[in-house]
Amino acid sequence: MRAGVLLVGLSLGASAPLSAQLGAIGAATGAAAVSTEEGINSAPLLSESGLVLGDGWAVNAGFSLVETEVLLFDGFGGSEQATFSSTGLSVSGVFAPNPDLMLGATITPYLGVMLESPSGSSDDSGRGDASLFAKYRAWRSQDGRSSFAATGSVRLPVASDGFGQEGASVGASGAISHRLGGGSPLTLHGSLGFSVPTNEDDGVTAVNFSGAGVYRTSERFAFSGELLGASADGEYIVNLAPGARISAGQNWLVDLALAFNVGTSLEVSPFDYGFFVGGNYVP
């Protein structure tokens, strides 16, 4: 559960949190997996993985900021460069009723958008949608280095006007994780999923995919690199997100990530860059 609600694929509202803008269905299930049987730093920051919590519960809060440069036209043949930015705050909670199952929810109490140009500025804010999800580890290798998990989710349209979907959407994904042998500190992750809106105004079915590597330098620090993408209605978007996870004391972890668009078929990139910071409490 990194900052944010479930993705809606390429129906990427500029007001959506960073995780939703990245198009990663795992954004709603990642944070709770930072403390796993495989180690506290093994899970990716923004994308899905085959890891689960194992037992107990966890809470995550995340803040994201994305910005992009846009060209505004005044209707008289003139134009000016403007900066569009959006911010999001989300809170997620999860618990593990058994070693292979995670149940959780995400709320987005704040979303904000701002447009700044030489001729003036405007802004607006509201709350975002909420989501419920379940993640089940269906397979784990005998040596414990590889695992596969499936996730199901429902996004609930509880947002303020203009800050969410018109109807609910459902999503599903599968993800695999593998820790390299020989005492390697590197864990690899990959996922594939989809999201289906129940209201035609929210777009079409989107396919989402991700690949990630997490390199643990110690029990207190890890680097990550993630490639996240989404495809819907013949369009696609691919983003790169380097980051780090830091142990900030007993039971506390801090996630930091940057995101850059590295490929899209859209005429205008959803964002030029994004920044994410998250805090995880895992007792």
Look at residue 137 in the predicted model and tell me its pLDDT: 94
**Burial state string for 120-148 with b = 16 or more CB within 10 A and e = fewer than 16:** eeeeeebbbbbbebebebeebeeeeebbb
Contact 229, 238 (CB under 8 A): yes
Q: How far is it, in rounded angstroms, from Cα 74 to Cα 68?
A: 19
One-letter amino acid identity for 36?
Answer: T
At residue 201, what are phi and psi to the nearest 5 degrees?
-70, -15
- Tell whether domain 18-70+83-281 is in CATH 2.60.40.1080: no
Share of the chain above pLDDT 70, in %: 83
Q: Does the CA dihedral 50-274-86-80 come out positive or negative?
A: negative
What average pLDDT does the segment 5-22 reach?
34
Tell me the whole-structure pTM to 2 decimals: 0.87
Share of the chain above pLDDT 90, in %: 24
Vertex 251, ends 247 and 254: CA angle to 5°?
Answer: 40
Query: What tokens does 51 get?
Result: 């890891």
Spans of all domains in the chain: 18-70+83-281
* Across 11-15, 44-48, 124-128, least confident range: 11-15
Q: How far is it, in rounded angstroms, from Cα 23 to Cα 210?
A: 9
Task: Name every residue whose Cβ is closer than 8 Å to that of residue 187 and which is 6 or more positions away in sequence.
Answer: 38, 42, 177, 178, 179, 180, 213, 214, 216
What average pLDDT does the segment 23-32 reach?
38
Highest mean pLDDT among 14-23, 38-47, 70-79, 116-125: 116-125
pLDDT at 58 over 60: yes
Q: What is the DSSP annotation of 69-96?
A: EEEEE-SSS-EEEEEEEEEEEEEEEEEE
Query: What tokens does 157 get?
Result: 């349209």
Alpha-carbon distances, residue 52 vs 116, 125, 178 (angstroms): 42, 34, 13
pLDDT at 136 over 60: yes
Read off the pLDDT band of 40 (50, 70, 90): low
Convert the pLDDT of each residue in 218-241 to its tens digit: 888 999 999 988 888 888 888 899
Q: How far is it, in rounded angstroms, from Cα 48 to Cα 84?
A: 28
Average pLDDT, the chain: 80
Look at residue 231 in the predicted model and tell me its pLDDT: 85
Convert the pLDDT of each residue in 164-192 to its tens digit: 888 998 989 999 999 998 889 999 999 99
What average pLDDT does the segment 156-164 reach?
87
